[in-house]
Amino acid sequence: MAKHKGRGWHSRLLAAGVGVTALAAATSVWSAQADPAGARKPQASVSDTGPAAAVAEEIVHASDRGERGVNITIDDGPDPTWTPQVLQLLKENGVKATFCMVGTQARAYPDLVKKVVADGHRLCDHTIAHDTAMDSKSEAYQSRQILDAERMITEASGGVRPQYYRAPGGAFTPYSRKLAASRGMRPLGWNVDSKDFERPGVDAMVATVKSEIANGPTVLFHDAGGDRAQTVEALRQVLPWLKEQGYSFGFPVR
Residues 112, 115: Cα–Cα separation, whole Å: 5
For the question of residue 222 being annotated catalytic, the response is yes
What Cα–Cα distance (Å) separates residue 155 from each residue in 19, 28, 103, 104, 152? 19, 13, 10, 11, 5
Beta bridge partner(s), residue 102: none
From the list 4, 10, 121, 222, the catalytic residue is: 222
Residues 41, 227: Cα–Cα separation, whole Å: 38
SS (H, E, C) 192-240: EECCHHHCCCHHHHHHHHHHHHHHCCEEEEECCCCCCHHHHHHHHHHHH
Phi, psi of 233 (to 5 degrees): -70, -40
Whether 212 and 58 have beta carbons less than 8 Å apart is answered as: no
Residues 25, 178: Cα–Cα separation, whole Å: 21
**CA 58: distance to chain centroid?**
16
From the list 4, 10, 61, 75, the catalytic residue is: 75
Nearest to 142 by CA among 170, 106, 108, 167: 167
For the question of residue 126 being annotated catalytic, the response is no
Which are the catalytic amino acids?
A: 75, 222
